[in-house]
Structure 1
Amino acid sequence: MFLQITAQRDPHLIAAAARHGLRRPVLLARLGGWALLGLAVLLQMRGDGLNVALLLAGVVLAVVVPMFLINHGVRRAAGDGPMNLEVSDDGVACSTLESRHAYAWNAFTHVDHLAGQLVLGLGGGRFVQIPTRGLSPQQIHQVLTTAAARGVAVRRG
């Protein structure tokens, strides 16, 4: 199999892929933040006064940390100009005007089939995004089948 794709990077698809890949750490941060906010409210209601440090820590965990995680992931993946992707039996290669990266299939931890894209996870919040806008259903199936045959877990978004 050999598939070559030239695509303009879509910030909306990149943001969706980043949110999908970081959903567990974002959820944990939000839950921790809401727990701290709840504790601050309970202490206030009990008559201990407003614990500003607890309140600020809750806001930081519930709001600032998730925003930072997602924005950092999007900034890292976004760039100017078109992206060229080559998908083969050996792996996936991505190139832009600034760089070229090639990954063997065993470098990927999973493939998520999301709306409008395939997201190949590299671990640590890193991913390779393959837009599916110009691909036929057979080509998408071929990429997913090749990934699965190489031991990469395929998940539906």
Structure 2
Amino acid sequence: MQIQIIAAPDPGLVAAATRRRLRTPVLVARCAGWALLAVTVLVQVATGLLQPGLLAGGVVLAVLVPVVLLNRTARRSLRHGRLTTYEISDGGVARSSEAGRHAYAWRAFRSVEALSGQLMFGLRGGRWVRVPTTGLSPAQVEQVLGTAFAQGLRVHR
């Protein structure tokens, strides 16, 4: 199998990949913020005093931290908006642009997830390689997912 894709970063795809990639940290921040807001309400009910520090901390964790985290990560991905060539073969996945080339053997990945318009290859350590499926047929996407599965990766459709 040898598939080559040439694409520029798509803001919509980058945003979707960023939301998927940061799903856990954003959820943790939101839950911690809502818990802090609940504590603020309980303190006010019990003592009759509003604790502005708890209220502000809850709002920051529940709203501000997730927004900043998602926006900063997506902007960083789009900042280098270079035309990139992606190659998927029996040996693994490679991406190259005018800035450099990075190649990964299949054993470097732990999973692949099919999102709308892209494949997210999960590396060890929580990093991801995002590959747009622009111009690929559904059969070619299935071929890539089948190859990944045959190489021992967890495949999420």
Common topology (TM > 0.5): yes
The answer to whether the aligner puts 1:146 opposite 2:143 as a matched pair is no
Gaps spanning 5+ residues in structure 1: where? none
Conservation of the 8 A alpha-carbon contact between 1:22 and 1:125: no
The root-mean-square deviation of aligned C-alpha atoms, in Å, is 1.6
State how far apart, in whole Å, the 1-side matches of 2:30 and 2:138 are.
37
Conservation of the 8 A alpha-carbon contact between 1:37 and 1:55: yes
1:115-134 aligned within 5 A = 115-134=116-135
Q: Percent identity?
A: 53
Q: How many residues get paired? A: 156
TM-aligned CA distance change 1:76 to 1:149, over 3 Å? farther
1:106 is aligned to 107
Following superposition, which runs of at least 4 residues in structure 1 exceed 4 angstroms of deviation? none
1:96 is aligned to 97
Gaps spanning 5+ residues in structure 2: where? none
Conservation of the 8 A alpha-carbon contact between 1:18 and 1:125: no
State how far apart, in whole Å, the 2-side matches of 1:129 and 1:101 are.
12
Provide, for residues 81-110 of structure 1, a one-character-per-residue CA deviation record: whole Å limited to 9, x for no partner. 211101111111111121211111121121
Question: What's the offset of the Cα at 1:123?
Answer: 4.3
TM-score (norm 2): 0.90
Instruction: Give the SS at the match of 2:149.
Output: helix
Conservation of the 8 A alpha-carbon contact between 1:4 and 1:86: yes
1:137 is aligned to 138
1:20 is aligned to 20
